[in-house]
Amino acid sequence: MTCKECLEQLSPYIDNELSLSKSRELKIHLMSCETCHEEYILLKTIVDHMGSWDEIHLPNSFHNDLMSQVKKESATKKTYPWVHIGASLAAVLLIYFGFMLNPYFKTNKTKPAQPMPAVQTVNEIENEIENTAKPSTYARMASEPPMQEAFTIEIWKVNAQDQNALTQFLYDSKELYNYSLQEDSVTRNKYILTFSSDSDKQKLSKALESISESFTVVESLDSLEIELIIQ
């Protein structure tokens, strides 16, 4: 095992996440290499002293504060259930009559129509399609989510050196992955990429990760966002 390999494996070794054979190999290397052993002790010291969540004390008022807020929200929901029912009914009726008056609903042409979020209306459209037995824009509408989702990648903290290379890469890959790029006017170093599909977003994020060791591709917890941080 080389020192480089050893240093790469130290972190999973400390976490006991290496295979038995890898772990044995690393142990042998640590016994013979002073530099790597020193590195190991350092990392182990840091990990061991990170502390644990159960040592943290939850402030006394936390639970009561939370529950009084939850009860307040719950009470608001319960007090006026008729408002919700009434509003839903009104929405369904409005959308239904809106559709009846919409010329595209009647003529079933291929012109794009506004997406209609109500389930009832989508069912109506499906019935209509079955009757006419012709593929149309409505078929697409009925099977797709009513709102088009935005698939984005966010790129932050691009330093001047990497900016040119990155811009070139993004420019080159634009044809391949089908996205639009806009430079944020507030923070000049932030890019927002909007994709037309999730698979394109995934592919580009992988490509970004592979082009440089100094890039950290950070997938935000919101699965549609990815950050790229350049160290």
Partner 1 sequence: MESHIEQKLIKRAQKGQVEAFEKLIILYEKQIYAICLKMLHKEQDAYDASQEVCLKIWRQLPHFKGDSKLSTWIYRVATNQCLDILRKHKNKTEVSIYQTHSETNEEWLIDLPSTEKSIEEMIGDQELSFIINAALSELKPEQKEIIILRDIMGCRYDEISKILGLTEGTVKSRLSRSRLALKKILLQNKEPFKSYFRHIKQKEGIL
> Where do contacts with partner 1 occur on this chain (CB under 8 A)?
8, 10-12, 15, 17, 34, 37-38, 41-43, 45-47, 49-54, 56, 58-59, 62-63, 65-67, 69-71, 73-74, 77-78, 187, 209, 216, 218-223, 227, 229
- Evaluate whether 186 touches 212 at the Cβ level (below 8 Å): no
Smallest gap, in angstroms, from Cβ of residue 110 to partner 1? 35
Smallest gap, in angstroms, from Cβ of residue 27 to partner 1? 15
- Of 120, 114, 115, 123, residue with least CA distance to 88: 120
Smallest gap, in angstroms, from Cβ of residue 200 to partner 1? 17
Smallest gap, in angstroms, from Cβ of residue 112 to partner 1? 29
Smallest gap, in angstroms, from Cβ of residue 89 to partner 1? 21
Question: Residue 155: is it exposed, middle or buried by C-beta count within 10 angstroms (0-12/13-18/19+)?
Answer: buried
Residue 194, SS3 per DSSP: strand
Token pair 């480089």 is found at 4
Residue placing its CB nearer to partner 1 in the complex, 39 or 128 = 39
Residue placing its CB nearer to partner 1 in the complex, 12 or 146 = 12
Residue placing its CB nearer to partner 1 in the complex, 7 or 129 = 7
Residue placing its CB nearer to partner 1 in the complex, 107 or 185 = 185
Helix residue spans in 102-159 (DSSP H): 103-107, 119-132, 137-143
The strand ranges marked E within 29-101 are none
d(CA 205, CA 197): 13
Residue placing its CB nearer to partner 1 in the complex, 123 or 187 = 187
